[in-house]
Structure 1
Amino acid sequence: MDTSKHDLPALFAQLGLDNDPAAIDRFIDQHKPIASGSALADLSFFNAAQASFLREAVALDSDWAEVVDTLDSLLRQEADIRPS
């Protein structure tokens, strides 16, 4: 049973990205806003392994699906609003 915490820092670590709060903010600011018709996993700034993980997390409704949806939502926002 996977009892690890599934939050944005854990997702970024899982994707092999810097996962401190400032790095997450920079990543989101650098890549937002993404087009409404774009699938998160199809975006060019994710490599093949990252895209596969994101795609499977949502398709399989895994424990990661909610935080992947959160990242998707944050990347679509124009305003500088983030959950605490």
Structure 2
Amino acid sequence: MELPAYDLKTLFDQLGLPSEGSAIDDFIEAHPLPADVKLIEADFWSPQQAQLLKEWLRADGEEAVMVDELNVRLHPGK
């Protein structure tokens, strides 16, 4: 049985955000976060998106790795 592959495209799809082509890089470039703002507390998430991110972090599996990757990419210089 093949396990699902989790990547930023999958994460963006689950968040209901564009994930094709340069859409992920464009989103990241447009939404840099200050060091003192947690990813799940960013003001650009809907309540449903923030909840999904929290759930994926709590799952502490491959999903959490993708949320961590997004967190690092949204915090320049971190």
Q: TM-score category by the smaller chain? A: 0.7 to 0.9
Instruction: Report the Cα offset of residue 2 of structure 1.
Output: 8.1
**Bigger relative contact order, structure 1 or 2, given CA contacts below 8 A and separation 6+?**
2
Task: Extract structure 1 runs of 4+ deviating beyond 2 A.
Answer: none
Bigger helix fraction: 2
Counterpart-to-counterpart distance in 2, 1:9 and 1:28 = 13
Q: TM-score, normalised by structure 1?
A: 0.82
Aligned to 1:82: none
Counterpart-to-counterpart distance in 2, 1:11 and 1:52 = 13
Aligned to 1:74: 73
Is residue 10 from structure 1 mapped to residue 10 from structure 2 by the alignment? Answer: yes
Deviations along 1:25-49, one digit per CA (max 9) or x if unpaired, are 11000001x1112111111111011
Decide whether aligned partners of structure 1 residues 77 and 2 sit closer, same or farther in structure 2, where only a CA change above 3 A counts: farther
Partner amino acid, structure 1, of 2:8:
L
Aligned to 1:62: 61
Aligned to 2:22: 22
Gaps of 5+ in 2: none
Aligned to 1:81: none
Is residue 40 from structure 1 mapped to residue 39 from structure 2 by the alignment? Answer: yes
